Structure 1
Amino acid sequence: MTADNSRVVTILCLLTLVLEGYDVVMYGTVVPSLLEYEPWGLTASEIGWLGSILGLGMLAGALLAASFGDRMGRRRTLLISVTVFSAAMTVCAATRDYEVFAVSRFAVGVGIGFLMPTATAAIVEFAPAAWRNRAVSLGFAGTSVGGIAAGLLSVWLIPTLGFHAMFWAGALPAILLIPALWLLFPQAPAGAPRGLPMVTPPDQAPKIALSQVFQAANARTTLSYWALMVICLLLIFGTVTWLPKLMGGAGYSVAAALTFLLVLNIGGLIGTLSGGWLADRFGVQAIIVAGFLAAGLALFGLICKPPTLVACLLVVVAGSGTVGTQILLNAWVASSYPATCRAAGVGLALGVGRLGAIAGPTYGGYVISAGAGYSWQLAAFALPAVAAAVIASTVRPRPPEFSAETQ
């Protein structure tokens, strides 16, 4: 394994993760158009159900990655995930049938869910130990880049070409990426001299059992990772859904309330890019604890209804401490398992964590509909962040036996 291979893998994974970030944000941009699309006549609840389909597909994809990712190899798994994603996005763009569209949205989620744990494992395995966390953070910055691209494209694509054009814009780059993965993604060399050992060839790999994942990092650590994933994704999806309404209810203008959502994503990008460097310098666990704690304190700070500029700075911290921390969680989990069950460990953690992504918007809606005041609404998101910091500080992972690193 060479540094050049590490760079190629990181860049290719970054490009695939741009697709994931694009799709998650893109769906929100087409919701108004879907509500006005007369041939389907969708209600708001049906639109919400379509959004949940993606999350369920991501859950299924993550669990599939946990079952088969380590045995199939990173290159083959990435090719399959991008192929499924691009095919499903193409159907979404071309179909005018609601049922076909709904099934395709589920398939898009499966491709995304399969992609994320595989990309994490691939970057971790090819990157030298000295900058592994930075490599993962750089690769996963693609999710923020994709989200920004979706927001920018929606401004002129939807008014001029309609909402289907947003799906074409996600499908076509995916189709172009497949040949690049096929030609450029390096095969795992035997007896790699540096970095983490490569995944076992598919015909030699043992069947991965859930018990092996629990044994590799011990049951308590694995369950702690699952809890952290659930809380982090609940915070991300919950705040993305409800932050504008919460801030509008606090008396901020409509324009400012919408700006907070953009600022939240900017904070996520800052946290993603800086988190890896900080983790390599001070340790990934310490930065994850600090990230969760900072996000919780920032959300508590918003309860005071500070001036708009101060509020924006607090929202940047909240975004950095949630989205940025999620990326570091992926790296932390991946580095805690040996190569024989790394994708299984990450896939299971992300799969369970998807429950938080599905529950986040519903959780926020319940708190708001229950009649809680502004302070309690924000506290409902701040408290889980602080709880996650406590959980992360108590984790004592057992380092896996990475023989290649000890040579």
Structure 2
Amino acid sequence: MSPGPPATQPEQARPVSRHKRLIVVVVCAFTIILDGYDLTVYGAIVPSLLEYQQWDVSEAEAGTLGSYALIGMLIGALVVGTLTDLVGRRRIVIGCVIWFSTGMLLTAFAPTPEAFGLLRFVTGLGLGGVIPTAIALTLEYAEPHRRNMTNAIMFSGYAIGGIAAALVAIPVLARFEWQTLFWLGALPALVLVPLAYFALPESPNYLRARGREEEARKLADRYGVTLEESPEAPRDRARSKGALSNVGALVGRDLLAGTLLFWVANGMGLLLVYGLNTWLAGIMFSAGFPLGSSLTFLMALNLGAILGAPTGGALADRFGSKRVVTTMFATAAACILIMSMQPPMVLLYVCVAVAGACTIGTTILVNSFTGNFYPAALRATGLGWALAVGRIGAIIGPIYGGLVVGSGLGVEVNFYAFVIPAVIGAFAVVAVPRSRAAVLPEKTAQPVDEQG
């Protein structure tokens, strides 16, 4: 009997290719670190921006300027996430890094608040586009039984980038103008773009979907990747599908319910992430904590995400994504509820850290769950749309928190307000049906159960 095609035997190449897979994850994590840096650095410069006499920006205007990057991310995730499945994931990663790094550099030289806002929007297009692409590549090159944990580790780069922005801002803003933080954020592209160009491979499943079967098999063999095929897809993929066909498949009969529920889960998760990152310090300050202590709660929130996301990913690989993500949403709700009861300081910090793990970390795992729900040929498109619609939650989060904090209903109500989206997110994940288009590795009898 002749041996099967190389791509169906990843275990033969795995000892040699494991470090090659790691390079893919490292490059994707590097892009997400820069993403986290950019989105957090704006919060770090807001006090300096308000004191920048040349512009005379008010608090309301500063809030509006901060939303432009998020709007750009929504459009970028929607458009670029769809294009990724059509033009290739490697090219999208490199192009988006160049795009948002150039945007950050130009932002440092913005002459007016209007130009600043426009450049933040333009930068957001690249930031939003790179996220679904990085997730799709990571899920594809991760070892099948460690997909959730690998993606969680990769996406923890977001929190690392946020902490890096805060740590860099402290000494830089003490000596230089706020613009310095933006051109410093553009410098890593000088390393990342060449690294991605020479070390980042294309997606084998993308190549197969475009009809480049032999090239896909050779690449899959080199990296020990198992080629995937949705059960209903034809074996011959010589003809390319259009963007509208891919988008239409997301809302087709087999995937519609899951697509809508993932949109809700992403929206609630991002509302929690951006709402808490924007207002946690203010809520704690209004609760009577000094400003310095209030800011340390933000550090605890992001540190919790760094520790909690990989742990949640490992649990999801073992027990199923649905079960773990639902539990994490519920745990976030419980921790925020306990915070409203003014517990002892040690317990309060623990609750904040666990809330970080179960909001930022849960959003990361929702992305993994979303990616594994769709067939390989639709993965980046499905992720792009889920992240784009979810980005509405990110935009609403700071506004929602501001309305609640400004309502004067009391400190407890500020916490209750963030319990609600966590509960909605948990119910949305529970309701996700088993995908009829679940990804099946070639010549594998049973699909990996991501439903929990």
How far apart in 2 are the matches of 1:40 and 1:28? 17
3-state SS of 1:372 partner: coil
Deviates more, 1:207-216 or 1:156-165: 207-216
Unaligned runs of 5+ in 2: 1-6, 8-16, 205-215, 446-452
For residue 352 of structure 1, the aligned residue among 385, 389, 395 is 389
Unaligned runs of 5+ in 1: none
Q: Is the 8 A contact 1:217 1:397 kept in 2?
A: no
Sequence identity of aligned pairs in percent?
37
How far apart in 1 are the matches of 2:311 and 2:286? 32
Deviates more, 1:359-368 or 1:386-395: 386-395
Change (3 A) 1:201 1:120: farther
For residue 68 of structure 2, the aligned residue among 42, 45, 53 is 53
3-state SS of 1:94 partner: coil
Q: Which amino acid aligns with 1:321?
A: C
1:158 aligns with 2:177: no
Q: Is the 8 A contact 1:127 1:195 kept in 2?
A: no
1:215 aligns with 2:252: yes
| Deviation by residue 1:229-278 (Cα, 9 ceiling, x = unmatched) | 11111111111111122222223333322221111111111122212111
1:388 aligns with 2:403: no
Paired positions, count: 407
1:136 shift after superposition:
0.5
Counterparts of residues 223-302 of structure 1 (less than 5 Å): 223-302=260-339
The match for 1:91 is 106
Counterparts of residues 364-375 of structure 1 (less than 5 Å): 364-375=401-412
Change (3 A) 1:47 1:196: farther
3-state SS of 2:188 partner: helix
1:363 aligns with 2:400: yes
Q: Is the 8 A contact 1:234 1:358 kept in 2?
A: yes
The match for 2:196 is 181
Give the TM-score of the pair, scaled to structure 1: 0.95
Q: Return the structure number with greater helix share.
A: 1
How far apart in 2 are the matches of 1:109 and 1:201? 37
Q: Is the 8 A contact 1:188 1:198 kept in 2?
A: no
How far apart in 1 are the matches of 2:236 and 2:408? 56
How far apart in 2 are the matches of 1:70 and 1:304? 48
Change (3 A) 1:89 1:402: same
For residue 81 of structure 2, the aligned residue among 40, 45, 66 is 66
Q: Is the 8 A contact 1:40 1:98 kept in 2?
A: yes
The match for 2:13 is none
Q: Is the 8 A contact 1:57 1:113 kept in 2?
A: yes
1:217 shift after superposition:
5.3
1:205 aligns with 2:258: no
1:405 shift after superposition:
6.5
Q: Is the 8 A contact 1:205 1:340 kept in 2?
A: no
Change (3 A) 1:196 1:117: farther
1:143 aligns with 2:165: no
Q: Which amino acid aligns with 1:179?
A: P
For residue 43 of structure 2, the aligned residue among 25, 28, 35 is 28
Q: Is the 8 A contact 1:126 1:196 kept in 2?
A: no
How far apart in 2 are the matches of 1:4 and 1:310? 40
Higher-Rg member (1/2): 2
Q: Is the 8 A contact 1:3 1:127 kept in 2?
A: no
3-state SS of 1:406 partner: coil
Give the TM-score of the pair, scaled to structure 2: 0.86
How far apart in 2 are the matches of 1:201 and 1:143? 38
Change (3 A) 1:263 1:104: same
Q: Is the 8 A contact 2:372 2:439 kept in 1?
A: no
1:198 shift after superposition:
9.2
Q: Is the 8 A contact 1:197 1:404 kept in 2?
A: yes
Deviates more, 1:278-287 or 1:203-212: 203-212
RMSD: 2.1
